[in-house]
Structure 1
């Protein structure tokens, strides 16, 4: 009988062992010192929990699901150490779980983030380069590698990124934004990474958590930065927790699924109905992406700690946040503030895909528009989608008019007064969700030059999309997302064309790359572009002229969007050129006398450093 009881006790202990601990460890000397640790295991909530080493348990929270328990510990003024959680029943220890507080990197809290001095290079990791073919079809995930399938897994990985970082440096990029690298175990179309199934684990088809840490280290060796694409709004339907929710309202349920109406204006519309507002925020982005409930404190703590854990663990330099304005707006502001409180210099850009500057400005930190409703998102940066809208059409408008051609760019910047900090806006011609620029403009090199010149020289943080710098195109409208996310040529063994190398590029690829490299490399050292003031002039004859200037230097940018050569007098720009005699074009090294008329070819640019 005694043996049977011992066996039963031993069996119970085995079944109650902890299956998951999240976060898996923490750090001493963090501002976020009350850490809420989630323990997951079969019927784990039945146990009493204590700790060793005088570690203070602030609270223990259980939910209707007995497989979860949330334990908050107080790490304030506690040195880095290992300690033990004991799980007891009837005053007898059934099992234990080790936990660690680690030592932070020196000056970790004051890490420098990305800003207007950077050029961000956006990639789809699965489509960039396959550095390790052995991980293409990891046994732990459902979808295996199949490069023949446009929407399948093609095998790009972290190792492939690392092997081509020198290419990015040569291009002039200073920061890398990969789309999400965490595990996405959907049966198909998992390559984009936005339906995450484990947010503490790098997808094994990309590599390991250690490989991700190595990516940051390799970027930092080159003076470059690592930006994580973070998703707060939703997970994938294959997320391990969705299969066994901690609590019914961990996700938004109606019950079950309800589609978002995508009308983000309901977040601030004073005339909006309550049901429309709810369906925007609480509705699911797509049926395969359960919508997270940030108004649940357990969810908000979980997301906040996960974000900080990745920053600290992988030595990250910034975030881009997917579908930012679909979140519960009060919850996401608390999430954002907690991160920037922990890291005061940390930049976060939110995807606020709207088409009106006032509506986008609402979401930037310290917005006067948001303040009307006593709202502050604490979000440092938003994406300049109205500029993107203009770029997507204006270079095909040869004849400038009241609302066509370069006036679209001018009018975009006239609304900068709406933003608390326009210099922190992300400026871009395209991204992984939009039509490819070179598809819209049929690989017209002159139009590419105009667009890249614009985003490289206006206020804000320029972002470029992988492959456009070698002329890559792709038709989203006809062939879907996979066509704008094609494999980078040369990223796979056996590729006939290797655009990563000078010798491997075609003449057309070299033309695009050489221009891009010259432009973005020049930009690296030009503080007048990073932080200078802007003065622009109403376009005439579809020619847009603006100056970036400070007390020490000035750059004059001329974009002629007319197909015809134009000559213009310089006396109109006296307020910006009065103390200068000449300007040297950084692209051609040609000098221009500022006292004379300036001639510019059709569909071309001048970037003049004034002397």
Structure 2
């Protein structure tokens, strides 16, 4: 006889099964790949009271199951060595019975993925802030699952720029001579205000929906690669945002640095290499929070560090990235950040990572580059391939002001920066720049386009990897004293309602085209200038505020002349015979004319020459 209560019990069982299935809220990484260099993969599994279950699988070896003081987490290490791409189930048992299962996938790895080549000194990097560059998809400007909505009237608000806007203007970026894009972070930032900054991330496996989707980010990389261009991700190891989903339920108390709760960094990065520093000062630099809205991650916690390593590798493999720029690199736990960097570079030996080392002393910056002899004194190696040349930035920010040079003011400031090149283990692999999203705008510091041209000449021809900040190539200004939003203005023409577009030559003013054309000419020339990419340097002491240097290799010789004086100058070229030797002529790249090297060289005030010696 049929039991009239059977449907009720079936519904009850179905409800219980559904609840068991919902036991897992997150598995991170969400998937992985077969054939990785490091075969051990640690899955972070999150769900209510998940630690009361025992994970089992017949398809793959489980090496370790680690529980923490928080029962809502399990860290399950599996061995992927010699395991082909496949989907498999992880069963979760309780009292000897399978309560529920979770499917996991190892994907097929892209061919030669491990050998991908990162950015290098043959590249020019275009730095942009996605929210302020171009709005390609107006439908994603505001999203229901994140708090802050688009409002262009707010300097610090969301303006609507997105990944689609970047893709739409890749032809423009390429025409400028750029070969790589560094975008400030794109992962979700669910702060209530100022979220466009995106350095306070709330989900590090998800692109912010106001920028697009994970697939959109992959598309950006693919579009760049079709142009033989590269994509550099701005990666943050030091901190997350207070709205990161883990902050409501930390895996361990010490997942972040606690004092308990918040304490701010002292920002004194010199304590990290100072042999005389007190322990408390060094600790407060590394462990203190950058700001109150950015909890400081504890890379000395093995679980947290491994989570960050796997997340970084996941993005490289998933999005097909060509490099990282690492924010606040020298604020991290020193041992932890070196372990993170080495793990990434072990997986991708030809990759490149540039760290933000915002210091004002070459020895202190060089300390952080891989194989530094300075770091070796303390038995420390970061394994970090590239660092940022902040001392050159400092010199550029003031040297071109100087009308009456003195012993230590004027172009001598630029010259002296290169005197200390011997400190760096790999001088060609450092990032050179005049400005970025955190500094004053170069066109605000210097109101004259002639100064801009001198600075761009310098960046395009010195050793290292040049980086250009979006908008400067059309004369964009911005006063840091008015707030960060002012140095991160919207690119003119990036929004359909803009009356004018600086993306289009016919819509630019004459002055904007002069900025653009100069920038485009020298950086497009640079693409094939091997003496600039990997050549040696000989520099001559500036005289009368005129700075001359040579870049050369076996195939090319380039003479650079920068007249920072407002007065016309005449150079006796006999002074440069050790480099010119018997050369008679040269081709001047900027103006395109042929120049005699057998007679004195006349150069107009506030003018530069890039001369290919023939």
Smaller-chain TM-score bracket: over 0.9
State how far apart, in whole Å, the 1-side matches of 2:554 and 2:223 are: 36
Q: How far is the alpha carbon of 1:7 from its aligned partner?
A: 4.0
Is this contact kept in 2: 1:162–1:215, CA < 8 A? yes
Provide the residue aligned with 2:51 in structure 1. Answer: 45
2:544 to 524, 541, 545: 541
State how far apart, in whole Å, the 2-side matches of 1:206 and 1:239 are: 18
State how far apart, in whole Å, the 2-side matches of 1:153 and 1:11 are: 43
TM-score by length of 1: 0.98
Q: Does 1:455 align with 2:459?
A: yes
Provide the residue aligned with 1:14 in structure 2. Answer: 19
The verdict on how the C-alpha distance between 1:500 and 1:80 changes in structure 2, with shifts beyond 3 A counting, is same
Provide the residue aligned with 1:590 in structure 2. Answer: 593
1:302 to 277, 284, 307: 307
State how far apart, in whole Å, the 2-side matches of 1:361 and 1:8 are: 64
Provide the residue aligned with 1:81 in structure 2. Answer: 86
State how far apart, in whole Å, the 2-side matches of 1:362 and 1:13 are: 55
Q: How far is the alpha carbon of 1:508 from its aligned partner?
A: 1.4
Q: Deviations over 1:526-570 (max 9, x none)?
A: 111100111100111111000000112200000011110000101
1:321 to 323, 326, 333: 326
Provide the residue aligned with 1:570 in structure 2. Answer: 573
Q: How far is the alpha carbon of 1:590 from its aligned partner?
A: 1.9
Q: Does 1:175 align with 2:180?
A: yes
Q: How far is the alpha carbon of 1:455 from its aligned partner?
A: 0.7
Q: How far is the alpha carbon of 1:52 from its aligned partner?
A: 3.1
Counterparts in 2 of 1:380-391, with a 5 A limit? Answer: 380-391=385-396
Where structure 2 has 5 or more consecutive residues not aligned to the other structure, the ranges are none
**SS of 1:276 mapped into structure 2:** helix
State how far apart, in whole Å, the 1-side matches of 2:11 and 2:61 are: 32
State how far apart, in whole Å, the 1-side matches of 2:14 and 2:423 are: 66
Q: Does 1:464 align with 2:507?
A: no
Counterparts in 2 of 1:115-194, with a 5 A limit? Answer: 115-194=120-199
1:28 to 20, 31, 34: 34
Q: CA RMSD in A?
A: 1.3
Q: Does 1:605 align with 2:608?
A: yes
State how far apart, in whole Å, the 2-side matches of 1:169 and 1:13 are: 51
The verdict on how the C-alpha distance between 1:291 and 1:5 changes in structure 2, with shifts beyond 3 A counting, is farther
1:403 to 402, 408, 425: 408
**SS of 1:369 mapped into structure 2:** helix
Provide the residue aligned with 1:437 in structure 2. Answer: 442
2:421 to 403, 416, 425: 416
Q: Deviations over 1:305-341 (max 9, x none)?
A: 0000000000000000000000001000000000000
State how far apart, in whole Å, the 2-side matches of 1:185 and 1:606 are: 48
Provide the residue aligned with 1:217 in structure 2. Answer: 222
State how far apart, in whole Å, the 2-side matches of 1:10 and 1:275 are: 54
Q: Larger deviation: 585-594 or 383-392?
A: 585-594
The verdict on how the C-alpha distance between 1:8 and 1:65 changes in structure 2, with shifts beyond 3 A counting, is farther
Provide the residue aligned with 1:529 in structure 2. Answer: 532
Q: How far is the alpha carbon of 1:230 from its aligned partner?
A: 0.1
Is this contact kept in 2: 1:83–1:99, CA < 8 A? yes
Is this contact kept in 1: 2:264–2:291, CA < 8 A? yes
Q: How far is the alpha carbon of 1:494 from its aligned partner?
A: 1.6
**SS of 1:422 mapped into structure 2:** coil
TM-score by length of 2: 0.98
Provide the residue aligned with 1:244 in structure 2. Answer: 249
The verdict on how the C-alpha distance between 1:63 and 1:12 changes in structure 2, with shifts beyond 3 A counting, is farther
State how far apart, in whole Å, the 1-side matches of 2:502 and 2:610 are: 27
The verdict on how the C-alpha distance between 1:63 and 1:494 changes in structure 2, with shifts beyond 3 A counting, is same
Q: Deviations over 1:77-130 (max 9, x none)?
A: 111111011011111111110001111111000001100000000000000000
2:516 to 513, 536, 545: 513
1:357 to 362, 366, 373: 362
Q: Deviations over 1:59-84 (max 9, x none)?
A: 00010111100000000111111101
**SS of 2:428 mapped into structure 1:** helix
2:491 to 457, 465, 488: 488
State how far apart, in whole Å, the 2-side matches of 1:79 and 1:12 are: 31
Provide the residue aligned with 1:373 in structure 2. Answer: 378
State how far apart, in whole Å, the 2-side matches of 1:17 and 1:51 are: 18
Provide the residue aligned with 1:393 in structure 2. Answer: 398
Q: Does 1:501 align with 2:507?
A: no
Q: Deviations over 1:462-514 (max 9, x none)?
A: 0000000000001011x100000000000001201101111111111111001
Q: How far is the alpha carbon of 1:584 from its aligned partner?
A: 1.4
**SS of 2:295 mapped into structure 1:** coil
**SS of 2:232 mapped into structure 1:** strand
**SS of 1:415 mapped into structure 2:** helix
Where structure 1 has 5 or more consecutive residues not aligned to the other structure, the ranges are none
**SS of 1:391 mapped into structure 2:** helix
Is this contact kept in 2: 1:13–1:95, CA < 8 A? no
State how far apart, in whole Å, the 1-side matches of 2:258 and 2:117 are: 40
Q: How far is the alpha carbon of 1:10 from its aligned partner?
A: 5.2
Q: Larger deviation: 574-583 or 176-185?
A: 574-583
State how far apart, in whole Å, the 2-side matches of 1:198 and 1:230 are: 13
Provide the residue aligned with 1:279 in structure 2. Answer: 284
Is this contact kept in 2: 1:13–1:94, CA < 8 A? no
Q: How far is the alpha carbon of 1:50 from its aligned partner?
A: 0.3
Q: How far is the alpha carbon of 1:438 from its aligned partner?
A: 0.3
Is this contact kept in 1: 2:530–2:556, CA < 8 A? no
Q: How far is the alpha carbon of 1:11 from its aligned partner?
A: 3.2
1:107 to 88, 104, 112: 112
